Amino acid sequence: MTTSSTDRKTRPIKVGNLTIGGGGITVQSMAATRTQDLEATLRQIEILESAGADLIRIAVDSKADVVALEKLCKATKVPISVDLQENYRLADAVGPFVQKVRYNPGHLHHHEKDKTAREKAHWIAAVAKKHGMAIRIGCNAGSLAPEYSERFPDDDVTALVEQAKDHCAYMDEVGFTDYLVSIKDSDPRLVIEANERFAAARPDVPLHLGVTEAGMPPDGIIKTRIAFEQLISQGIGDTIRVSLTVPFENKGQEIEVGRQILSDISKGRFRSVPKGFFDGLNIIACPSCSRVENEKFIELAEQVKEATAYAAEHDVTIAIMGCRVNGPGETDDADLGLWCGPTTVNLKKGTETLGSYPYSEVLPALLSELERIIAS
């Protein structure tokens, strides 16, 4: 099922029986449960399917995840996309089961250090071709490849757009066409600018839109709506994902919110951004996925929101992330960051790590740091 249509016609790509690009916008989401917990993940897939997801993404980080993936795919009707971060080499193993694979150009440098990003991208393209998979080149501001952060130290938008363009060129070099791009950040203003610039440079390439770590409703929905309204009204965007920090049982809300925003845009119903929305306290939180190291993360995010409400008028950004894959990088740009491990939570001030605390003790530590920032 697709919703709404765009004037901008990108190249249509096949993801199983689904077409992305060429008109129409699909709505997708990601399972937040541990991939190897079959019962919980199947329940999560059922919730997303019932909410009307066109595509469901599942994170795979190990061979044991691949074994679980095979079972999950057999029980799923909608096309499945696999999210590979540092473990891009699992692309060949997941190929027989899924219709799409996402790799993050910013995480290719961790392994096979003797190979270039171009060589690795060519290998992923060859594997995708062999298995009939589509590819998403998924770029995030919080995990830029070091080469691009060094070349554009104070300009994340240019770094992201150049990285995405280079990876498209790698696909083009080997004649692989079934790919699309995403460029995400937690700030909708950056998402808008980067996607506008990429779309102008590569009008043929379908775009997956999303505001990552948008956080909890209602702010997470407002941030997403701001980006989608601005981009989709210009014909930019072929598939969307709304990322919300909500309990597992409420994940269907991501699909419902996405369809509501698309429906409003197609009817010309734009919501104005509340005055001063970007002023004051900004809490960003990852939407959680199978990589969450402790489910207390969602509860912690809610507690942080509640306990910091008193500081609403202060221009402070607090980031809360669920795991070590993206947590350390994505918290670098926040004034205060929390990234969650299995039993402890790491507290950061900008790029500096202040300490590691049990879940029950981290909140007071965060609040004293917040007090120090406000006082200064």
- Residue ranges that bind ligand SF4, judged by CB under 6 A: 286-289, 291-292, 321-323, 325-327
| Closest distance of CB 31 from ligand SF4, Å | 10
Residue number with CB closer to ligand SF4 (127 or 214): 214
| Closest distance of CB 281 from ligand SF4, Å | 21
Residue number with CB closer to ligand SF4 (226 or 325): 325
Give the number of other CB atoms < 10 A from CB of residue 29.
28
| Closest distance of CB 33 from ligand SF4, Å | 11
| Closest distance of CB 12 from ligand SF4, Å | 29
**Nearest alpha-carbon partner for 24 in 15, 36, 33, 35:** 15
**Nearest alpha-carbon partner for 98 in 74, 62, 123:** 74
Residue number with CB closer to ligand SF4 (13 or 338): 338
**Nearest alpha-carbon partner for 179 in 129, 118, 123, 241:** 129
| Closest distance of CB 148 from ligand SF4, Å | 20
Q: Which amino acid is at 138?
A: G
156 touches 104 (CB < 8 A): no
Residue number with CB closer to ligand SF4 (102 or 202): 102
Q: How far apart are CA 349 and CA 214, in angstroms?
A: 20
**Nearest alpha-carbon partner for 281 in 248, 317, 334, 251:** 317
**3-class DSSP state for residue 293?**
coil
Residue number with CB closer to ligand SF4 (79 or 328): 328
Which element (helix H / strand E) includes 307?
Answer: helix 296-307
Residue number with CB closer to ligand SF4 (236 or 286): 286
| Closest distance of CB 366 from ligand SF4, Å | 17
| Closest distance of CB 323 from ligand SF4, Å | 3
Beta bridge partners of 344: 358
Residue number with CB closer to ligand SF4 (25 or 289): 289
- What are the E-state strand segments in the chain? 13-15, 18-20, 26-30, 55-59, 80-84, 100-103, 134-140, 179-184, 207-209, 239-241, 282-285, 317-321, 336-340, 344-349, 352-358
